[in-house]
Structure 1
Amino acid sequence: MQHASTPQVLSAAATGMDRFIGRYGLCQDSFFGTLGLDPETLSAPTRQMDLGTYCRMMEYGAERTGDGSFGLAYGQDFTPQMLGLIGYIATSSANLGEAAQNLATFFPWHQQGTTTTLCQQDGLCWLSYRIDPARVAERRQDALVTMGMYCNVFRHAAGPGWSPELIDLEQPDCGDRAQIEAAFGAPVRFGQATNALVYRKADGARAMPGADAALRELLCCNLRSLGMAQAEPDTAARTAALIRENLSEPGLDLDFVAERLQMPRWTLQRRLHDAGTSFADLLEGERRRMAARYLAVPKLSVSVIAERLGYSEPSAFTRAFRRWEGVAPATYRRSTAAPLRH
């Protein structure tokens, strides 16, 4: 199956949207008509819809309802089974740990233009999710939807009172921190490199009430057969995501990433080489990108930024930054700072 020129998502991701907007008193014909959507498409869970349109639908919902956390409300209203094949794959997994791994592994078959990873460290696990910003710019509500859906997978097994340890969000705080933290029962960090639900590794041992290995395998085959992703996920994108999420870790190297991707070191090297890149290139690229982002935050000192980027000394960061931009970090910060309003 040929991929569409724009990333697609299975329509199951919009299950129940017609009923949900009805709670706000919105006219379904007007709502979907403005977006150029046929409600019939949303009623067929294995049909594809444009990912950008899906994200615009969430942003438009927030605009029309005046609810800045519209996506969160929709995501938390979403049972895992409503997500279609990938939701049933999660609920038929043996336990929560396997469910989280299956979500990270199979999301490319459910939604294109997206990187999902599962990382473990010091007794905590990060189930991360990020749409490529070059493909979709407005995606705040989508992030809230997905974190809410992830949370509901865990509550399916652990009960409605379960809470993650932390929620990370790419987007800035829009004044609804208290509402989001109350919904998850956990602290939220805004302006992060990716969106993530952080949970205790011990929670991964909780059994899923509908575990069924044979059903899970059948569902995985069915999802793959839809042709929404390549037979092999984008290793370079997943490697870049892991680097971005672990830049400050002193042990961040090729072995670190290979272990978390559950593949031999040499296999990772070969796949990156085949993709025309390397671990060193990806590491430098992520450091350069995040350096510019951090320098836009006045309260972060150069030494703190150097530490966040994984440099042992601020001087090493300064040398690297001069090589990238031709100027020192402090000079770059002054030249790109927005003028003060008087």
Structure 2
Amino acid sequence: MGPIAEAVTAAGGSLARVFARAEMPLTLLEEPDRLILLRDQLRLVEAAINEIGDPALPARLSMLTGISGLGPIGVQVRQANTLGAALARVEVVTPVVLQTATWTGLRRQGAHAFYGYTVAERIDSGRQANEVLALGYLLGTVRHFLGSTWRPERAVVTGASMFARGEIEALFGCEIAFGARAGLVFPAHDCDTANPSRLDPTLEGTTESRPIEDDLLACVAQLIALSLNEARPSIDWVARRLGLSRRTLQRRLEQAGTRYADIQRQVLGNRAKELLAMATLPIGRVGLELGYADAAHFTRAFLDWTGVTPSQWRSGVQRRRLGTD
């Protein structure tokens, strides 16, 4: 979120307009670590491009953040012994972290290697922008092993043309070609390069950013939590975000042994506890944040979720902090 906001602001654009076009709450800027679905990331980047008129923005963003912006994927890369081992790890972790039908992995083609990226699900707009964004991260991954000045033989994107091609080629330091799948082409023997600064997986803190679950339930919960920044979401809104009909979403949740209302209740309960842990926030305000008309309605709901009232739960938290329990 941060780099996008900085780029838009620096260009004199409107962040409110960007987030509105992407149908996302502006309050997300206050939660930079919140995970969002890939399709929502694409909406946001595409809206930023349109706002400031910079088609090379995805390349700038990914080159700026580098491997540090890859979160759990970056941790997996830095723990691998060789470049080839790192790319094998990325192939497993990427679709889990991005919560979508994506593929990122290595394919050897004789003396050459192809480090590719594909989004298998339907994307109505922004596909090429997403590929350019991904290519910057792919470059950062390989450069962790081969150095900051390393250049691939060429980069590949889908389509037949692209805006700002020359500018993006200058940022990536290589020619951009068009093909059936986006990726980087480089000598296969580079895959044997050892990790020059391997992250010890046994050290404390190196596995904190665990990938989120790769299932529909996690996606639904994530979208509900996202929407709570502005209003409690309807099942129709969540279904649309996932590219499903309301009935299909209900059927798939039933197959997983749950209902939309159950997931929403769990998300609301977790968010209520987070807000109640803020001792200065009145209980009535917590209820309003979660969409309840008044403190009484919120108290009844919280009592049903936890068996205690909000004030009792907050008192318990405060006692534990003081070590009096």
Q: TM-score range by the shorter chain?
A: 0.5 to 0.7
How far apart are 1:146 and its partner, in Å?
0.4
Which amino acid in 2 is paired with 1:168? V
Contact 1:91 1:209 in 2 (8 A): no
How far apart are 1:95 and its partner, in Å?
2.5
* Overall identity of the aligned pairs, in %: 21
How far apart are 1:164 and its partner, in Å?
0.8
**1:98-141 deviation per Cα after TM superposition (whole angstroms, max 9, x unaligned):** 22222222111111121223111222211111112525543111
**1:292-338 deviation per Cα after TM superposition (whole angstroms, max 9, x unaligned):** xxxxxxxxxxxxxxxxxxxxxxxxxxxxxxxxxxxxxxxxxxxxxxx
Separation of aligned partners in 2, 1:216 and 1:202: 30
Q: Which residue of 2 aligns with 1:185?
A: 173
1:172–1:215 distance in 2 versus 1, CA, 3 Å:
farther
- Residue 198 (str. 1) matches residue 185 (str. 2): yes
Where do 1:121-270 residues align within 5 Å? 121-190=109-178, 192-215=179-202, 223-224=210-211, 226-228=212-214
1:40–1:154 distance in 2 versus 1, CA, 3 Å:
farther
- Residue 74 (str. 1) matches residue 42 (str. 2): no
Which amino acid in 1 is paired with 2:93? F
1:145–1:216 distance in 2 versus 1, CA, 3 Å:
farther
Which amino acid in 2 is paired with 1:64? E
How far apart are 1:208 and its partner, in Å?
2.8
1:40–1:91 distance in 2 versus 1, CA, 3 Å:
farther
How far apart are 1:34 and its partner, in Å?
3.3
Q: Which residue of 1 aligns with 2:242?
A: none
Which amino acid in 1 is paired with 2:201? A
Contact 1:147 1:197 in 2 (8 A): yes
Separation of aligned partners in 1, 2:166 and 2:208: 41
Where do 1:298-309 residues align within 5 Å? none
Which amino acid in 2 is paired with 1:208? N
Give the secondary structure class of the aligned counterpart of 2:201. Answer: helix
- Residue 97 (str. 1) matches residue 90 (str. 2): no
Separation of aligned partners in 2, 1:95 and 1:40: 40
202-211 or 123-132, which moves further after superposition?
202-211
Contact 1:125 1:200 in 2 (8 A): yes
Q: Which residue of 1 aligns with 2:256?
A: none
Q: Which residue of 1 aligns with 2:70?
A: 83
- Residue 22 (str. 1) matches residue 4 (str. 2): no
1:98–1:24 distance in 2 versus 1, CA, 3 Å:
farther
Which amino acid in 2 is paired with 1:77? L
1:138–1:122 distance in 2 versus 1, CA, 3 Å:
same
Q: Which residue of 1 aligns with 2:35?
A: 48
Contact 1:108 1:229 in 2 (8 A): no
Q: Which residue of 2 aligns with 1:57?
A: 44
1:45–1:104 distance in 2 versus 1, CA, 3 Å:
farther
Give the secondary structure class of the aligned counterpart of 2:65. Answer: coil
How far apart are 1:170 and its partner, in Å?
0.8
Contact 1:168 1:188 in 2 (8 A): yes
How far apart are 1:201 and its partner, in Å?
2.0
**1:36-83 deviation per Cα after TM superposition (whole angstroms, max 9, x unaligned):** 323554665664323222112222222122112221111111221122
How far apart are 1:212 and its partner, in Å?
2.8
- Name which of 22, 25, 50 aligns with 1:35: 22
- Name which of 94, 108, 113 aligns with 1:120: 108
50-59 or 25-34, which moves further after superposition?
25-34
State the TM-score, normalizing by the size of structure 1.
0.56
How far apart are 1:229 and its partner, in Å?
5.1
Separation of aligned partners in 2, 1:104 and 1:228: 14
How far apart are 1:151 and its partner, in Å?
0.5
1:72–1:218 distance in 2 versus 1, CA, 3 Å:
same
Unaligned runs of 5+ in 1: 1-13, 231-342
Which amino acid in 2 is paired with 1:114? T
1:196–1:217 distance in 2 versus 1, CA, 3 Å:
farther
Where do 1:1-16 residues align within 5 Å? 14=1, 16=3
Separation of aligned partners in 1, 2:147 and 2:185: 17
Contact 1:93 1:216 in 2 (8 A): no
State the TM-score, normalizing by the size of structure 2.
0.58
